[in-house]
Structure formats: C-alpha cells, structure tokens
Amino acid sequence: MSASRGRQLRALVRKDLQLEARTRETVTAMALFALVAMVVFQFAVGQRSDDATGVAGGIIWATIALAAVLGVGRTWVPEREQRVLHGVLVAPVPRLVMLIARVIVLWLFLLAIEVLIVPLGVVFFVHDASPEGLALVAGLCAVANLAIAVPGALLASMSVFSRARELVIPVLLLPALVPVVIAAAGGTHAVLGPEVQMAEFLGYCRFLAVCAAVFCLVAYATFDHVLDD
Amino acid sequence: MSLTTDTTRPAAPRHILALGVLSAVLMGLAVVGALGIAPEDADQGVVQRIFYFHVAVAIASMVAFGVGCVAGIVFLRRGTTLWDDIGVSSVEVGLVYSVLTIITGSIWAKGAWGVWWRWDDVRLVSFLLIILLYAAYFVLRGSAEPDRQARFGAVYAVFAFAAVPLSFYSVRIAQSFIHPVVFTSKGANMPGSMLVWFVVSLAGFLCLFATLVAVEVQQRRAQRALERLKRRFDHVH
Amino acid sequence: MVRVRGLGHAFAGRRVLAGLDLDVPAGQRVAVVGPNGAGKSTLLSIVATLLTPREGTVEVDGARYPDGVRDARARIGYLGHDPQVYLDLTPAQNLRLFGDLYGVTGLAARIHDALAAVGLLARAHDPVRTFSRGMAQRLGIARMGLHDPGLLLLDEPYTGLDADGSRLLDGVVAATSRDATVVMVTHDLDRARTLCDRVVMIHRGRVAWDVPAGDVDLPALAARYEQATR
C-alpha cells in the first residue's frame, strides 16, 4: 500500500482549507489587518498630497507583506495547538509534499485577501486606473504570491520548533520579503498610472519570477533538514 | 577520551597565531598605505581615503557570508559540529563587517554630500537590508530547540545568502524607480597606486576574518569540552 | 520486525539512551517499562521515526533508518498521549485525511468500519472539539489502525482513556497482535504483564531486565521497578 504524492498533497491542502472554513480565523485576520494597515499608511504617508497614485503600489504591497506575516505565523499552529504534529510527521509523506501543500495554501490565502485589498487600494489611492491595468496586477499577484509563500512556508516550518515563534516569524520573513515588495510595488505602479508601461511591468514580473525561483530552489534543497529530526 | 587532550592544551594553536600576526601586519600596512601613501583623490579630497576600508570590508563581509553558506551546505551533508562552528563564526564576522560597511559608508556620505544617510546610495541601503537579513540568523538560532539550532542555522545561512543578490538587485531597481538614472559603479577604473592599497586592505580584512573564525571555532570547542566535563562532574556527585 | 542496535541519543548533551539493543520478532507484544527519564519514550519516538538516532541503527521490517524511513512509516501505527487528530475537523474528515496520507484503498468503507469499531459512527460529522477526552482518544485508536499497520507503537496510550476506552484499546492490542507486532510504553505494570508477551525494563538508557511476561508475577516486577527508581 503506497500513497501517491498527488493524493497526499490534495489531502493536506484540503485539510487546511477545511480547518479555515470551520474557524475562519486566518483569512479574516489577514484581511482585517491589511485593511487597518492600509488606513494607517494613508494617514502616515498618503495624505501629503491629493493624488496618491505614486505611492499606491507601495502601500498595497507593504500591506500585503504585513498580512502575509500574519498568515505565515498561523501555519502549523493547528498542528501545534491541537497536538497533531506527531501524527502528521509519522505519516509516510515526503517532506517536500508537506512544503508544497503549505505553499499552495499560503498562496490561496494571499490571493483571498488580495481580491479585497487590491481593488480597495485602487479605489482609495488611484484616480484613474484602467481595467487593463487591474488585470495585469492580478497576474503580478500570482507571481508575487509565490515569491512570498515559498520563503513563508520554509521559515514557518523552522519556527514550529522554536520558542517565541510569533516574534521570530516577522524578523525572519520581512527582510527576505523586501525585494519582493519593492518589485511588486514597482510593477503595480507601472500599470496603475494613467498609462500602462508594459516593458517596465514585465521587467518587475521577471524579477519576481527570479525571486520565486531562487526561493524554490533553496527550499527544495534544504527542506528535508527542517522537519525531520 | 578526547576530552583530556582537548582541555590540557592551553596555548593558542599555531595557525591562529600565524593568522593573527599576518592580519595585524596587513591591517597596519593598509592603514599606513591608505592614509599616507596613496594619492589623494582630486574631487573628494581626504574623505575619499575611507574608500579603501569601506569597499574592502564590504567585499570581505560578502566573502564571510559566502563561507557561512558553504559551511551550512557542508554541515547539512555531513552533520559535523566543526562546520556548524565555522558557519556561525563566519556569519558573526560577516555581520560585524556589514555594520562596519554601513558606518564607513555613512562617514563617506557625510564627507561627500554632507549627510549621514542617503536612500539613493545603493551600497548603504543594500547593506542595511543585509544586516536585517543576517540579524535574523541569530534570532532563529537563539529561539530554536537546542538540538535543531545548528541545522536551522545552516538552512538559514543558505537561504539568506541566496537572498543577498535579490536584495542588491531590488535596491537598484528601487533607485531607478525614484531616479531613472542608471547606476554607475564607483572606482571601476582606479589608478594602479590606489588599487595596490585597496588590495592590501582587502587582504587584511580577509585575513582578520579567518583569524576571528579560527579563534571562535576554538572557543566554541573549548566551551563544549567544559560542558562535557561539568556534566561528568555532576554525574559523579 | 524491530531490530535496534547500539542506540544512543542525547538531548542538549544529556544522555538519554546509551547503547540500547532490542529485538522484537513479528507478532510479539512487548511492554516497555521503566522509571521516568529512563529513555522509554525516546526509544519509541526513534522507532516511530520522529527522532533521528544519534548513534546506532534501527530496522523496521527490513527497512533501515534513515534511508528506509518512508517504507517503515507506512507500516507503523503510532499512538501517543494525545489522539493526534485535528480538533476542528470531524472524525470523518480526520480519517479521510490520514487515509489519504497513508494511501488506504477503499477508504470510505474503511472509515465507516473504523468509526463503527470505536463507537463513534453517530458522531462522525461533529467536530472533535466537542468530544470528551476519551472519545477523542478512541478516534486516535481508529486513526492508528486505519492503514492496517504491521507494527503498533503505543506511548502510554491509556493516559486520558476512560474505562470503556481502555477496554477498547485492550481489545485492539489483543486482536491485532495475532498478526501485528506491538511495542507499548506504559507505567501500568499489571497491564504490561497481562496484555503483553514480554516485559522489557529500561533503566539509564539501557535494557536492564528482559523477561517473558508469563515468568513475572506482579510483586517481583514491582520490586524490580522500585529498585530501579531508587
């Protein structure tokens, strides 16, 4: 009797979505936090001028990065609080499958809050955004989420075995996310203005893809050493 | 047991002494050369002389983080404590060097532009990110379960080193975001008389790095031997 | 079935196992007893693949660690103090998850049978959080046996079980052990003697005493235990 990896992966993702559907803790907290952070940013920096188009991308992505810290912090929490960690670890699941499941779930959670945060950010800060620009931002989200979810999943798995994990995660994750935030903000800025600057946008997307690829490679190479003792 | 041979050797091993002397000589030479012998920069005057230390220590810190990454990979493969010791010590020295890079860079910025900090100085900003990245290394090690500290440290050393080029590049594109001017690297064509002292300074910092790592490795080893001895003592009583 | 050789382990420098050897032939039920801190749970965690041994080798059904860990995991059923199920999921969801992770075939029918066997069929779609400790542990028993493990590793599984649950677990151990091997860590000397074929006492990280269960009477076992604890 040997389990297929696809079946294990589906089971692990479904489990996290079922848990989220029952408790609604993580996505709700991430979305509310992002909303609050956006309002704070507006009063901190946006209010200086009437047109905040120039800082919209920055505010949106700084907000998403902070919300991501929250989401990453919740990873593995059910396993710890409900004491299932050993039950999951003794199952014959390749550790890479566990990592990929975490990445997929984080990716979905990020997408869920972006559906709310990006349009709101546009309404709040951008005067005349084109539908075309919004569609491009959606594409950018897909890549950027991967570049956030992969380091998030890797670092969260290390913090499971650490004290004060809620302190450790922001300190670990945010420095690694700075390049992602810079590029995602730049890309968003390039297409949310009065005109769509396609070449610039693609350049940022390419850099985000490189970030995601580098993080994937590191995670792939090191993950075996993280979960098993 | 190896315990007794470890603890009854009080003098510093010869390689540490040799490295220490070599670093002292090179650093002395670098100070004399950079401050006294090298020609003064026509545009920037005396403040430009900090370049010899600023750039050298910046490069040396990258080398240190690189060694930390390699030590991490070797540790994950072999699991020997020696490579963990080398990894931690390298990251420690790399972090100190990064701080020195920022301090010297800040002094240079004050001399050249009259301000301590400029967000459009790519090197300053990049190294700020790198300090944040590597400070997290010690936070992670400090909070990880004792039996996992070495492994997590190794994983993070690899992770952080992979993130370094991303940070550098992202700071550059953030600059073009603010000022659409292409970044030109300073000192790309420096005269030979400057290059010599720059190389001496770089060699000095690299040698000092090797010395500090060797001392730290020795110290960690001694610490462990001491703990073993303590435990044995407790056991007897 | 289980072959442990020269097993050594330390936590933060403190030695817990010191060159432990243990052989468990297929189909045998072994009770591992010993004072707190003797290394019982560490031994079980290592055999359950939760910990990597620092010294020595472990082999389960011919699969040697660490290379054969995944093969071994598929054959092991593990139950600790905690039921190891998600409290925010229902029993059906939990068993579906673990069935998928272990690649169990004909899962729907098996889940039904397993829930019926532990008397939780009526509560199959209530979140486990609403269960009593004993009920949750019964679900843990169902989870442990879902994939027909050839080796049951039980780490003080009676902790938190009510009388019904204990009887149920006794039954599971007695029934499966006709074709499955059982290694059980316990403080319950009486249960160790009556339920198992063999009693192994661990003290200071080594096997201190190893006898067929039929040969021990309770006072002798208790005396040995006392002696070791002192």
Q: Out of A4, A10, A83, whose CB is closest to C103?
A: A4
Interface contact A164-B155, CB threshold 8 A: no
A226 chain-B contacts, CB cut-off 8 A: 151-152, 155
pTM of the model: 0.89
Per residue in C134-152, pLDDT tens? 889 889 989 998 998 999 9
Edge-to-edge strands of the sheet including C14-24? C14-24, C2-11, C55-60, C63-64
Q: What is the DSSP string of C49-93?
A: TSS--SEEEEEETTEETTTTHHHHHHHEEEE-SS--S-TTS-HHH
The pLDDT of residue B4 is: 42
Point out the least confidently predicted range of A46-60, B180-194, C96-110: B180-194
Provide CB contacts within 8 A for B169, sequence distance 6+: A179, A207
Chains with 3+ CB–CB pairs under 8 A to A are: B, C
The pLDDT of residue C134 is: 84
d(CA B224, CA B217): 11
Interface contact B148-A229, CB threshold 8 A: yes
Model confidence at A219: pLDDT above 90: yes
Smallest CA–CA distance, residue A39 to chain B, in Å, is 24
- Chain C interface test: which of B76, B81, B147 (most C C-beta within 10 Å): B147
Per residue in A29-49, pLDDT tens? 999 999 999 999 888 875 666
**Going by DSSP bridges, is the β-strand pair C151-155/C181-185 parallel, antiparallel, or unpaired?**
parallel
Chains A & B: contacts with CB separation below 8 Å: 101
Provide CB contacts within 8 A for B134, sequence distance 6+: B65, B91, B94, B95, B98, B160
pLDDT grade for B6, boundaries at 50, 70 and 90: very low
Per residue in B26-47, pLDDT tens? 999 888 888 878 777 766 777 7
Supply the mean pLDDT for chain A. Answer: 90
Supply the mean pLDDT for chain B. Answer: 85
The pLDDT of residue A106 is: 96
The pLDDT of residue B181 is: 37
Topology (CATH level 3) of domain C2-75+149-228: Rossmann fold (3.40.50)
Mean pLDDT value across residues A208-219: 96
Per residue in B130-164, pLDDT tens? 999 999 999 999 999 888 899 999 999 999 999 99
- SS3 category, A2: coil
Q: Is the dihedral of CA C109, C110, C115, C119 positive or negative?
A: positive
The pLDDT of residue B46 is: 75
d(CA B71, CA B150): 11
The pLDDT of residue C209 is: 82
C111 chain-A contacts, CB cut-off 8 A: none
Provide CB contacts within 8 A for A219, sequence distance 6+: A99, A150, A151, A153, A154
Mean pLDDT value across residues C192-216: 83
The pLDDT of residue A47 is: 62
| Nearest residue in chain A measured CA to CA from C93 | A15
Interface contact C96-A82, CB threshold 8 A: no
C104 chain-A contacts, CB cut-off 8 A: 1
Q: Among residues of chain C, what percentage have pLDDT more than 70?
A: 95
A94 chain-C contacts, CB cut-off 8 A: 70
ipTM of the complex: 0.91
Model confidence at B192: pLDDT above 80: no
The pLDDT of residue A52 is: 72
Per residue in C84-125, pLDDT tens? 999 999 999 999 999 999 999 999 999 999 999 888 999 999
